[in-house]
């Protein structure tokens, strides 16, 4: 670890060493996590953290912003190129704050939004009662179909006609299938609603052209930058020219003050990386790996929600294994496999226990793993979860995970995608 830090603060340095060891020697399969490149990490830790730059390039409320303007303009230029968007705001600190700003730009308090049910794969910030979005807006939710476990657009259309939302939100945290935004635009137009896509999870796939593109069809598109995009922890918003002023005012001074300039600099770096042809190959491999993993899991007797995946993640329904998601995730962690528990559609277990887990392939793919490793990992899931009373098997799989991880060192093989 960094020598300055280990001298100044050995306690934190030791914790960081532990976390580095965990990231290197575990299978990181949480689909919203990834390994940022070394260039992104370096920029995220840079001196731009020292500067206040409230406002936007050319119109700051602080002096001394020459280099802040330069880096934010570069991030905006690259962001526009990457997404083919009229306008990009690179200041949102998080995905949730990006959504807050998007609502703030388009809606008044009390307006109705139509979004995906959280327990069917939606996100907290799409109107969940405990979140600001459920407090300030009247949220109604569409669900997936009980039989197919897919979003049924006729149901979405019916909900839209019944509730006349001012905004329809399309996007999810735990939906393993493709979202075709063209169809959603039609529904929004039928009821005169705005259409917003939240592509926090699938943004990299969209850039890599292995998932349909929302930008031509949506009024506003929000995304995180730290998930499949592999940038710094943060977010970005794309919108049509006509909402530009409203959106910028909604971000600052609407929901944020000083932008995190070191993060914006790191966003610029990650956009440059995402514009390279290797990034497309990386995204295509994420999807190939997810398909390979889902095939292996199904061969091992696991039931996948909707019968498989078209993107970077899958939802395993553990009901037939007699396990709940929380128990399965804890047991897998003992074997060095990190996944999170997740509700499945129409789940009968509580949100604390859950009936499912949600593995994904972005981080494994970033370290260079391919189909043969996915096959092996599917078998490991079964070994561990079909023998939950056998701690010896877990210890054995833990060793296999370690040696697999040694073959794919995180911060060496990463460079192949840059
Ligand atoms: C991850 C995610 C977000 C927001 O993430 P933050 O943790 O607030 O950065 C927003 N929407 C969806 C669909 C997500 O999956």
Predicted confidence (pLDDT) per residue in 50-97, tens digit: 999 999 999 999 999 999 999 999 999 999 999 999 999 999 999 999
Q: What is the rounded distance in angstroms from the CA atom of residue 197 to the CA atom of residue 209?
A: 16
Token pair recorded at residue 180: 């075709």
Token pair recorded at residue 209: 């052209």
Contact 214, 221 (CB under 8 A): yes
* Residue nearest ligand 1's atom 4 by CA: 95
Q: Is the CB of 221 under 6 A from ligand 1?
A: no
**Concatenated DSSP letters for 376-402?**
HHHHHHHHHHT-TT-HHHHHHHHHHHH
Taking all residues of the chain, what is their mean pLDDT, rounded to a whole number? 96
Out of 91, 95, 98, give the residue to mutate to test ligand 1, the one with the largest number of ligand atoms within 8 Å of its CB.
Answer: 95
On the CB side of 354, how many CA atoms lie within 13 Å of its CA? 24
Which pLDDT does position 370 carry in this prediction? 98
Which pLDDT does position 1 carry in this prediction? 46
Which pLDDT does position 2 carry in this prediction? 56
Q: Which residues are catalytic?
A: 52, 54, 198, 224, 227, 233
* Residue nearest ligand 1's atom 1 by CA: 200
Q: Is the CB of 94 under 6 A from ligand 1?
A: yes
**Concatenated DSSP letters for 137-195?**
SEEEEE-B-TTT-SB-HHHHHHHHHHH--SEEEE--SS--S---HHHHHHHHHHHT-EE
* Residue nearest ligand 1's atom 2 by CA: 200
Q: Is the CB of 125 under 6 A from ligand 1?
A: yes
Token pair recorded at residue 84: 């083919």
Token pair recorded at residue 238: 């794309």
Q: Is the CB of 223 under 6 A from ligand 1?
A: no
- Cα of first residue to Cα of last residue in the chain, in angstroms, is 23
Q: Is the CB of 171 under 6 A from ligand 1?
A: yes
* Each residue's pLDDT tens digit, 35-51: 999 999 999 999 999 99
Which pLDDT does position 4 carry in this prediction? 85
Distance 171 CA to ligand 1 centre (A): 10
Q: What is the rounded distance in angstroms from the CA atom of residue 373 to the CA atom of residue 363?
A: 13
* Residue nearest ligand 1's atom 15 by CA: 173
Distance 234 CA to ligand 1 centre (A): 10
Q: Is the CB of 131 under 6 A from ligand 1?
A: no
Which pLDDT does position 262 carry in this prediction? 98
Q: What is the rounded distance in angstroms from the CA atom of residue 316 to the CA atom of residue 358?
A: 6
**Concatenated DSSP letters for 234-291?**
-EEEEE-GGGHHHHHHIIIIII-SS--HHHHHHHHHHHHHHHSHHHHHHHHHHHHHHH
Q: What is the rounded distance in angstroms from the CA atom of residue 286 to the CA atom of residue 164?
A: 37
Out of 97, 141, 224, 358, give the residue to mutate to test ligand 1, the one with the largest number of ligand atoms within 8 Å of its CB.
Answer: 224
Distance 95 CA to ligand 1 centre (A): 5
- DSSP annotation of 15: H
* Residue nearest ligand 1's atom 6 by CA: 95
Which pLDDT does position 235 carry in this prediction? 98
Q: What is the dihedral of CA 184, 189, 190, 196, to 10 degrees?
A: 40
Cα distances (angstroms) measured from residue 389 to each of 47, 276, 332, 385: 51, 47, 13, 9
Say yes or no: do domains 42-274 and 278-417 share a fold: no
Q: Is the CB of 31 under 6 A from ligand 1?
A: no
For residue 285, whether the previous peptide bond is cis, meaning omega lies within 30 degrees of 0, is no
Ligand 1 atom showing the smallest separation from residue 234 Cα: 9
Q: What is the rounded distance in angstroms from the CA atom of residue 125 to the CA atom of residue 121?
A: 12
Q: What is the rounded distance in angstroms from the CA atom of residue 270 to the CA atom of residue 358?
A: 26
Mapped onto helix, strand or coil, the DSSP state of residue 295 is helix
* Domain residue ranges in the chain: 42-274, 278-417
Which pLDDT does position 403 carry in this prediction? 98
The domain made up of 278-417 has a fold known as: 3.90.1150
* Residue nearest ligand 1's atom 5 by CA: 95
The domain made up of 42-274 has a fold known as: 3.40.640
Give just the sign of the alpha carbon dihedral 148, 149, 150, 154: positive
**Concatenated DSSP letters for 330-341?**
HHHHHTTEE--E
Token pair recorded at residue 270: 């990650």
Which pLDDT does position 6 carry in this prediction? 87
**Mean pLDDT in consecutive groups of 10 residues from the start of the chain, 418 residues:** 80 93 97 96 96 98 98 98 98 98 97 95 92 95 97 98 98 97 98 98 98 98 98 98 97 97 98 97 98 98 98 98 97 98 95 96 97 98 96 97 96 58
Out of 200, 227, 313, give the residue to mutate to test ligand 1, the one with the largest number of ligand atoms within 8 Å of its CB.
Answer: 200
Q: Tokens 């996590």 correspond to what residue?
A: 33
């Amino acid at each position: 670890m960094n020598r300055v830090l280990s001298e100044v603060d050995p306690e934190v340095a030791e914790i960081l060493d532990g976390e580095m060891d965990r990231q290197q020697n575990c299978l990181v399969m949480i689909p919203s996590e990834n390994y940022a490149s070394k260039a992104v990490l370096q920029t995220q830790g840079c001196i731009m953290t020292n500067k206040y730059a409230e406002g936007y390039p050319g119109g700051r409320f602080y002096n001394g912003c020459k280099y802040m303007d330069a880096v934010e303009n570069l991030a905006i230029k690259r962001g526009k190129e990457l997404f083919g968007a009229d306008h990009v705001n690179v200041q949102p600190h998080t995905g949730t704050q990006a959504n807050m700003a998007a609502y703030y730009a388009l809606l008044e308090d009390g307006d109705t939004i139509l979004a995906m049910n959280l327990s069917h794969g939606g996100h907290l910030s799409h109107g969940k009662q405990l979140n600001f979005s459920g407090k300030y807006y009247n949220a109604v939710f569409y669900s997936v179909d009980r039989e197919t476990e897919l979003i049924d657009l006729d149901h979405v259309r019916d909900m839209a006609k019944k509730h006349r939302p001012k905004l329809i939100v399309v996007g999810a945290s735990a939906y393993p299938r493709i979202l075709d935004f063209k169809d959603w635009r039609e529904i929004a137009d039928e009821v005169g609603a705005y259409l917003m896509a939240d592509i926090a999870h699938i943004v990299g796939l969209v850039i890599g052209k292995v998932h349909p593109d929302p930008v031509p069809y949506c009024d506003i598109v929000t995304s995180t930058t730290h998930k499949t995009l592999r940038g710094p922890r943060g977010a970005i918003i794309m919108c049509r020219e006509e909402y530009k002023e409203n959106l910028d005012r909604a971000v600052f001074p609407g929901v944020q003050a000083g932008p995190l300039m070191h993060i914006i600099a790191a966003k610029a770096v990650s956009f440059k990386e995402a514009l390279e042809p290797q990034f497309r190959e990386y995204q295509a491999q994420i999807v190939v790996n997810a398909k390979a993993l889902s095939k292996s899991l199904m061969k091992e007797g696991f039931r996948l929600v909707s019968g498989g995946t078209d993107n970077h993640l899958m939802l395993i329904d553990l009901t037939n294994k007699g396990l709940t998601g929380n128990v399965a995730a804890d047991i897998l962690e003992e074997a060095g496999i990190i996944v999170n528990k997740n509700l499945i559609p129409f789940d009968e277990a509580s949100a604390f226990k859950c009936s499912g887990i949600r593995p994904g392939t972005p981080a494994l793919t970033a370290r260079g793993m391919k189909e043969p490793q996915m096959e092996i990992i599917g078998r490991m899931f079964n070994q561990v979860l079909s023998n939950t009373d056998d701690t010896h098997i877990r210890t054995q799989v833990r060793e296999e995970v370690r040696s697999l991880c040694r073959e794919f060192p995180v911060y060496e093989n990463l460079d192949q995608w840059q």
